Amino acid sequence: MKITALLLLSTAGDCSSSSGPSDPVVLANASDVSHFGYFQRKAAKEFILFIARTVAKRTPHGQRQSVQHEESKVHSYNRNGLCALAFMDDHYPVRSAFSLLNKDPTEADKLLKIQRDLDETKILLHKTIDSVLEGGENLDSLVAQSSDLSAASQIQEENVTYIETDCFWVHLFPHEQMYYKQTRKPTNAVQAG
């Protein structure tokens, strides 16, 4: 089973000319003619383009058709003036061919689907971060607050150590209590009880 070419043509302007229908315009073309001889490849590409325009012109809007030519088939699907064509060998299943022509490219290619999911996640994360930072808070003020909290927690730890030490000495030496309180002061002018 081999796919030789996939094409997308615009057939919307077929009847615009007074001298008859105009040729469909090729919007996208991907072909693999490597199985042809080197000197036959240019002629094969020209033949594919000729057959594609002819089949696209004769495929009614909203219709599908398959055309047999020697050992290959041309499958076409015309939807709203866009005609997708696939050149395949005779062994390629018809149902799979039309499934390929109807498929959303982002669903067909797993990498494109993963990229789309990542982009959606990135947008969601940006919205989440923006909503967290609403209300006038920004990231810089949050960092400043966290460093202030760090300094405040260090002062608190020193004060707790002072109080614990004070309680220890008061219980050991009750008669020295007044002397000890007068010589030792807590950090940041916090007075112990």
Phi, psi for 7 (deg, rounded to 5): -135, 150
Domain holding 31, by residue range, is 3-103
Residue 63 sits in the same domain as residue 144: no
Q: Are 78 and 93 in contact (CB under 8 A)?
A: no
Question: How many independent structural domains does the chain possess?
Answer: 2
Q: Is residue 60 part of a domain?
A: yes
Residue 22 sits in the same domain as residue 92: yes
Q: Is residue 52 part of a domain?
A: yes
Q: Is residue 129 part of a domain?
A: no
The last residue of one of the domains, among 59, 75, 103, is 103
In whole angstroms, what is the distance from residue 7 CA to residue 27 CA? 8
Q: Is residue 123 part of a domain?
A: no
Residue 155 sits in the same domain as residue 67: no
Q: Are 39 and 31 in contact (CB under 8 A)?
A: no
The last residue of one of the domains, among 103, 123, 148, is 103
Q: Is residue 67 part of a domain?
A: yes
Q: Is residue 9 part of a domain?
A: yes
What are the start-end ranges of the E strands in the chain? 3-10, 25-31, 64-69, 72-79, 82-89
Residue 50 sits in the same domain as residue 97: yes
Residue 67 sits in the same domain as residue 13: yes
| CATH (domain of 98) | 3.30.450.50
Q: What is the pTM of this model?
A: 0.51
Residue 87 sits in the same domain as residue 159: no
pLDDT tens for the 193 residues of the chain, in order? 788 899 999 987 644 444 556 789 999 999 999 988 999 999 999 999 999 999 999 999 989 999 998 888 999 999 888 999 999 988 888 888 888 888 766 566 677 778 788 888 888 877 776 676 665 556 566 666 676 667 767 677 667 666 666 665 565 555 555 555 555 555 554 444 4
The last residue of one of the domains, among 103, 123, 151, is 103
Q: Is residue 151 part of a domain?
A: yes
Residue 171 sits in the same domain as residue 79: no
